[in-house]
Homo-oligomer: A and B are copies of this chain.
Amino acid sequence: MMKKYELAVIPGDGIGKEVVPAAVKVLQTAATLHGGIQLETTEFPWGCDYYLKHGKMMSDDGLEQLKNFDALFLGAVGDPNKVPDHISLWGLLIHIRREFEQTINIRPAKLFKGLTSPLVNPGPFNFLVIRENSEGEYSESGGRIHKGEDEIAIQNAIFTRKATERVMDYAFKQAVLRKGHVTSATKSNGIVHSMPFWDEVFNDVSKCYTGVRTSSVHIDALAAFFVTKPSDFDVIVASNLFGDILTDIGGAIMGSIGIAPAGNININGKYPSMFEPVHGSAPDIYGKGIANPIGQIWTASLMLDHLGEAALAREVLRAMEEVTEAGIKTKDIGGNATTDEVTNKICLQLQN
């Protein structure tokens, strides 16, 4: 029997428009090889160019159009020369994350074959950052008061027990399937309301998982440890902002922020999950055909895994690592191949 998956594809801005078609090509190649599955893709032209024409980042009934897909596959959003970032991101990426209750963001990082880590001694690190994806420091609550030299901006970070418990619970569940160690990213020494609360909830949730080892590390030290001893970590649970920062460092130590994949997971089953790489739209290199498609392709693998196609997900990862190991890579990771060359080679490699 043929299994069919319906995927909504949103290339978005900048290099998203280059790496998404590349990853879709890999996905289709993988599906064809598998034989038993069919991927039906529908593309949506939303992003900053759409905003310039229509005054909005996606169409008004955009969520309606998206909500019955099996998964969403997104490139990158944002192009500050066209639309201020806080408008473009909150109008599309963050909008979907919130409205579709994608409350958990998962971001694996590992030492990748064929990639040169900028670290002398990266060790065989392999960790998973579980990031709260619905609240925290990313909040529309706040505003300004007074004008001129007296002006004040207030930003509220909001942490609910529900969302905090949920992300921690998810992290502990992942740790049970992995090496049984959860590290909590905190900053309760400096940030005195939200972070002591975060620590309390971490302490509470940890009691339900007595077999899991726990650590609590301040974000400043943790960011440094990602550089000095990344192999010490298994699962890291972090707030929205801290997860954001840590996962870019994760990308950096793998060899490039162009590599790291991410999934925005809806865990209540009401809406689709969304998969997008950690990197941004890099408008400065857009159009040159040199963008690294690896982050988007790894993201595609993460999506396959989420859809229940674990074996195929592994195949994509294998092909990707083999091509990288063979030295066929883009400039940002020390090669001189184009986006297309890397992509075509991965498609070929899938067939081996």
On whether the beta carbons of B157 and A152 are closer than 8 Å, the reply is no
On whether the beta carbons of A150 and B142 are closer than 8 Å, the reply is no
CA distance A247 to B279 in the complex (A): 23
The residues in A between 218 and 233 inclusive whose CB is less than 8 angstroms from any CB of B are 218-221, 223-225, 227-228
Binds B, one of A169-177, A188-196, A265-273, A296-304: A188-196
CB of A333 to closest CB in B, whole Å: 11
Binds B, one of A32-40, A59-67, A250-258, A337-345: A250-258
On whether the beta carbons of B257 and A245 are closer than 8 Å, the reply is no
CA distance A148 to B218 in the complex (A): 25
- Among A84, A88, A120, A155, chain B packs the most CB atoms within 10 A around the CB of A155
On whether the beta carbons of A223 and B249 are closer than 8 Å, the reply is yes
CB neighbours (8 Å) of A121 from chain B are 118
- Asked if A158 lies at the interface with its beta carbon under 8 angstroms from chain B, I say yes
CB of A66 to closest CB in B, whole Å: 21
Supposing A118-B121, A140-B192, A192-B140 touch, asked if A248 and B220 sit within 8 A by C-beta, the answer is yes
CB neighbours (8 Å) of A143 from chain B are 193
Nearest B-chain residue to A162, judged by Cβ: B149
On whether the beta carbons of A160 and B155 are closer than 8 Å, the reply is no
CB neighbours (8 Å) of A329 from chain B are none
Supposing A251-B224, A252-B228 touch, asked if A90 and B245 sit within 8 A by C-beta, the answer is no
On whether the beta carbons of B221 and A257 are closer than 8 Å, the reply is yes
Nearest B-chain residue to A196, judged by Cβ: B86
On whether the beta carbons of B245 and A153 are closer than 8 Å, the reply is no
CB of A122 to closest CB in B, whole Å: 9
On whether the beta carbons of B223 and A245 are closer than 8 Å, the reply is yes
On whether the beta carbons of B160 and A152 are closer than 8 Å, the reply is yes
CB of A291 to closest CB in B, whole Å: 15
Supposing A221-B280, A249-B227, A252-B227 touch, asked if A190 and B158 sit within 8 A by C-beta, the answer is no
On whether the beta carbons of B223 and A248 are closer than 8 Å, the reply is yes
- Asked if A187 lies at the interface with its beta carbon under 8 angstroms from chain B, I say yes
Tell which of B119, B192, B227, B244 touches A86, judged by Cβ atoms closer than 8 Å: B192
6 closest cross-chain pairs (CB), A and B: A142-B193, A85-B189, A153-B197, A155-B194, A224-B252, A220-B248
Contact residues of A with B, CB < 8 Å?
78, 84-86, 88-90, 94, 116-121, 137-140, 142-144, 148-162, 165, 187-198, 218-221, 223-225, 227-228, 240-241, 244-245, 247-249, 251-253, 256-257, 280
Q: Can you pick out 17 interface pairs between chain A and chain B where the beta carbons lie within 8 Å of each other? A: A85-B189, A89-B190, A94-B190, A118-B228, A119-B120, A140-B192, A142-B194, A144-B197, A152-B161, A153-B159, A153-B193, A155-B191, A156-B156, A156-B157, A190-B244, A227-B253, A228-B256
